[in-house]
């Protein structure tokens, strides 16, 4: 995150941040990680980045873990690895997660079932090894996937 973006994020009120977190059930709206099992706090992501004139209101905000937020950076689109075509990234305010992603059999990996799903998995690295290990461990405890 660059300084201009960092300062912009600081301008969000505590109330707005809490509303975004609560709406997301304290889960990352991309990889579905749960904040309560993360060593670092999650952040509020501007779906359309402020650098691309994205608004600072709830309709353009989502809750994201630090890794997803960092990998997304200012991107809103990327290449679908199957078709090679440019496609939008998953937008938690416009799209339903279940329409673009499914879990694999042991729930350790997210599988993209649409161009948007596949492109988002690649760009945000939704199947990072640390996240996969955590999903396996939490699944054994009956704590993954989140409801």
CA distance 13 to 71: 24
DSSP state, 60?
A: G
Considering the complex, state which of residue 8 and residue 97 has its C-beta at the smaller distance from Zn ion: 97
| Closest to Zn ion by CB, 87 or 123 | 123
Least CB distance to Zn ion at residue 124 (A) = 7
The answer to whether the CB of 28 falls within 8 A of the CB of 14 is no
Paired tokens of 39: 């060593």
- Do residues 82 and 54 make contact, with C-beta atoms less than 8 angstroms apart? no
Which residues contribute to the site for Zn ion (CB under 5 A)? 28, 30-31, 33, 65, 68
Shortest approach of Zn ion to residue 125 CB, angstroms?
9
- Closest to Zn ion by CB, 67 vs 80, is 67
Cα–Cα distance, 43 to 73 (Å, whole number): 12
Whose Cβ is closer to Zn ion: residue 12's or residue 128's? Answer: 128
């Amino acid at each position: 995150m660059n300084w201009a973006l960092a300062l912009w994020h600081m301008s969000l009120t505590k109330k707005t941040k809490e509303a975004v977190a609560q709406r997301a059930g304290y889960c990352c709206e991309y990889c579905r990680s749960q904040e309560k099992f993360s060593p670092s706090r999650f952040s509020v992501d501007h779906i359309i980045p402020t650098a691309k004139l994205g608004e600072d209101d709830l309709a353009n905000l989502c809750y994201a873990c630090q890794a997803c937020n960092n990998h997304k950076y200012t991107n809103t689109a990327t290449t679908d690895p199957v078709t090679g075509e440019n496609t939008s990234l998953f937008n938690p305010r416009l799209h339903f997660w279940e329409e673009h992603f499914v879990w694999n059999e042991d729930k350790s990996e997210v599988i993209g079932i649409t161009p948007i799903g596949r492109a988002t998995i690649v760009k945000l690295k939704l199947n990072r090894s640390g996240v996969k290990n955590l999903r396996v461990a939490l699944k054994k405890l009956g704590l993954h996937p989140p409801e």
